[in-house]
């Protein structure tokens, strides 16, 4: 709850700074970028679900509003998201003639980055967050992202902007040029944030939600640049184009609102991945596990959020390693995520933990029973030669219109139960 309240506060702060940065716009346009943000499901969902999205957006906009504090706010942004390290250096290109003042800020920025990295290394044993290691990328990912972007279907960027990305890009560049006439530092800072979103959106893989999680913190800057572009159409092109600019602004707002509405439809929340990111159907099963399984048990799963919060059990993420740095390192070294604990690359780490139970979607359990061959044992599966037997299953939603169940399998030597229990 505290994380959601903090997210709500950061959303309010982000909206306020978006309005503040819209001051140079004509009165009728000043509120437009904040309005777009208010109906943008990609930004609101991740901001209000306990993630750092709005906190990072607030720090990024603060870098523009409080120009002389941008260097240490940039370090805070890096603390929240490693790719945000690009923002301050890119924005500093616009101040390259300032000499010593810029160099002094750069030295302070570099020192804070070093302190953040050292603190991570001392506390966690890694220079970068484990999530950055677990969600790795490579040349094939970048190539696929570029192809999908060219086709207008890269989900790392929000619809409808990605559908017409050439127009979006042209308008952002032109908006930055218009802003540069009156507030050059704002133009460089907002442009740097939009550029960082583009670079990271091409670099990283798609988020499992299918929404623009990775570019969401940078959307306030994107919307501001688009606002500056559309607001200056009449001045640059004449009155007859002003109605077209207003129409584009309305189309964007309505499209964002429609997309947000689609996210909240009951059928969306019942269908994968909606039932995962909404987590409504995952809460009751997690609570059941919390009250029926020994509290010291470790449960292997890829659905770490709801389960760890509501059951209070230790979770072992054998697939991505989001809770297990060694698994994340193994995935990165082998250039793949693990579909089954029987994968030789993750099996030694599985043996170290020896999870007491496995909780997975039925389709995942079925796959584990087929690979490697002879992995099925009675109604359960053999993991590292140890039988895991079904104890209970929970309905959680649908995938491709097929009902999905969460299946709890217990290590054979932990409980006397050897069959299914309703």
Cα–Cα distance for residue pair 256/186, rounded to 1 Å: 25
Average pLDDT over every residue of 73-77: 96
Q: Which ranges constitute the DSSP H helices of 125-241?
A: 130-134, 139-150, 165-182, 184-203, 219-231, 233-237
* Model pLDDT, residue 279: 85
Cβ burial of 75 (10 Å; 0-12, 13-18, 19+) is buried
CB 405 within 8 A of CB 394: yes
Rounded percentage of the chain residues whose pLDDT exceeds 70: 98
pLDDT tens digit string along 223-259?
A: 999 999 999 887 777 777 888 899 999 999 999 999 9
pLDDT tens digit string along 131-177?
A: 777 777 888 999 999 999 999 999 999 999 999 999 999 999 999 99
Examine the pLDDT at 77 and tell me if it is beyond 90.
Answer: yes
Cα–Cα distance for residue pair 141/145, rounded to 1 Å: 6
In 286-419, at which residue ranges do the beta strands (DSSP E only) sit? 298-300, 314-316, 357-361, 376-377, 380-383, 386-399, 402-411
* Model pLDDT, residue 138: 85
pTM: 0.90
pLDDT tens digit string along 318-329?
A: 999 988 989 988
CB 351 within 8 A of CB 343: no
Examine the pLDDT at 422 and tell me if it is beyond 60.
Answer: no
Tokens of 54: 């709005």
* Model pLDDT, residue 151: 94
Q: Which ranges constitute the DSSP H helices of 265-340?
A: 266-270, 274-278, 280-292, 304-311, 325-334
Sheet holding 386-399, edge to edge: 314-316, 298-300, 357-361, 402-411, 386-399, 380-383, 376-377
pLDDT tens digit string along 360-388?
A: 998 899 999 888 877 788 788 999 999 99
Element (H, E) at 363: helix 362-370
Average pLDDT over every residue of 297-313: 91
Cα–Cα distance for residue pair 265/231, rounded to 1 Å: 33
Contacts 24+ apart (CB under 8 A), 324-331: 324/349, 325/124, 325/125, 325/126, 325/130, 325/133, 327/134, 328/130, 328/133, 328/134, 329/133, 331/134, 331/136
* Model pLDDT, residue 316: 96
Q: Which is higher by pLDDT, 164 or 279? A: 164
* Model pLDDT, residue 204: 92
Length of the chain: 422
Per-residue pLDDT band at 416 (split at 50, 70, 90): low
Cα–Cα distance for residue pair 341/317, rounded to 1 Å: 10
Q: Could you tell me the CA-to-CA distances from 157 to 217, 222, 230 in Å, in that order?
A: 11, 11, 20
Per-residue pLDDT band at 129 (split at 50, 70, 90): confident
Tokens of 375: 């992995």
pLDDT tens digit string along 5-52?
A: 899 999 999 999 999 999 888 778 999 999 999 999 999 999 998 889
Examine the pLDDT at 291 and tell me if it is beyond 70.
Answer: yes
> Of 326, 352, 340, 338, nearest to 133 (Cα)?
326
Examine the pLDDT at 418 and tell me if it is beyond 70.
Answer: no
Sign of torsion over alpha carbons 220, 225, 226, 227 = positive
Work out the mean pLDDT of the chain and round it to a whole number: 91
> Of 291, 303, 299, 287, nearest to 397 (Cα)?
303
Which string of DSSP letters, residue by residue, matches 168-188?
A: HHHHHHHHHHHHHHH-HHHHH
Tokens of 185: 């530092």
**Measured CA angle at 215 (ends 211, 216), to 5 deg:** 70
Cα–Cα distance for residue pair 20/43, rounded to 1 Å: 19
Average pLDDT over every residue of 82-90: 96
The radius of gyration of the chain's CA atoms, rounded to the nearest angstrom, is: 24
Average pLDDT over every residue of 296-300: 95
pLDDT tens digit string along 100-114?
A: 999 999 999 999 999
């Amino acid at each position: 709850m505290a994380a959601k309240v903090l997210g709500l506060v950061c959303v309010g702060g982000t909206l306020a700074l978006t309005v503040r940065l819209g001051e140079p716009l004509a009165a009728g346009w000043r509120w437009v970028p904040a309005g777009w943000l208010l109906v943008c499901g990609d930004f609101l969902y991740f901001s209000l679900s306990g993630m750092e999205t709005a906190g990072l957006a607030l720090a990024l906009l603060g870098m523009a509003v409080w120009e002389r504090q941008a260097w240490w706010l940039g370090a805070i942004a890096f603390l929240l998201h490693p790719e945000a390290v690009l923002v301050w250096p890119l924005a500093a290109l616009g101040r390259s003639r300032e000499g010593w003042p810029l160099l002094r800020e750069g030295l302070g920025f570099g020192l804070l980055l070093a302190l953040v990295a050292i603190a991570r290394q001392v506390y966690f044993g890694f220079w970068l967050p484990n999530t950055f290691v677990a969600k790795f990328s490579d040349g094939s990912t970048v190539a696929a992202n570029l192809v999908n972007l060219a086709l207008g279907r890269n989900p790392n960027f929000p619809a409808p902007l990605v559908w017409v990305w050439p127009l979006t890009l042209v308008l952002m560049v032109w908006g930055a040029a218009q802003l540069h006439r009156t507030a050059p530092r704002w133009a460089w800072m907002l442009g740097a944030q939009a550029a960082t979103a583009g670079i990271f959106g091409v670099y990283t893989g798609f988020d499992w939600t299918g929404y623009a999680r990775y570019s969401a913190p940078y959307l306030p800057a994107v919307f501001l640049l688009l606002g500056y572009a559309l607001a200056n159409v009449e001045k640059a092109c004449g009155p007859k184009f002003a109605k077209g600019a207003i129409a584009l602004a309305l189309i964007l707002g309505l499209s964002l609102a429609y997309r947000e509405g689609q996210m909240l439809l009951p059928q969306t929340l019942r269908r994968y991945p909606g039932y995962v990111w909404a987590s409504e159907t995952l809460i009751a099963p997690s609570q059941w596990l919390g009250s029926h399984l020994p509290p010291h048990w470790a449960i292997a799963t890829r659905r770490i959020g709801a389960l760890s919060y509501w059951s209070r059990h230790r979770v072992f993420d054998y697939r991505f390693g989001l809770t297990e740095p060694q698994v994340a390192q193994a995935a990165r070294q082998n250039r793949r995520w693990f579909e089954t604990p029987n994968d030789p690359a993750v099996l030694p780490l599985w043996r170290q933990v020896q999870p007491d139970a496995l909780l997975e979607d039925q389709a995942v359990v079925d796959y584990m029973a087929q690979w490697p061959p002879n992995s099925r044992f009675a109604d359960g599966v053999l993991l590292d030669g140890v039988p895991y037997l079904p104890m209970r299953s929970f309905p959680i939603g649908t995938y491709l219109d097929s009902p999905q169940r969460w299946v709890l399998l217990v290590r054979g030597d932990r409980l006397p139960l050897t069959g299914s229990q309703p």
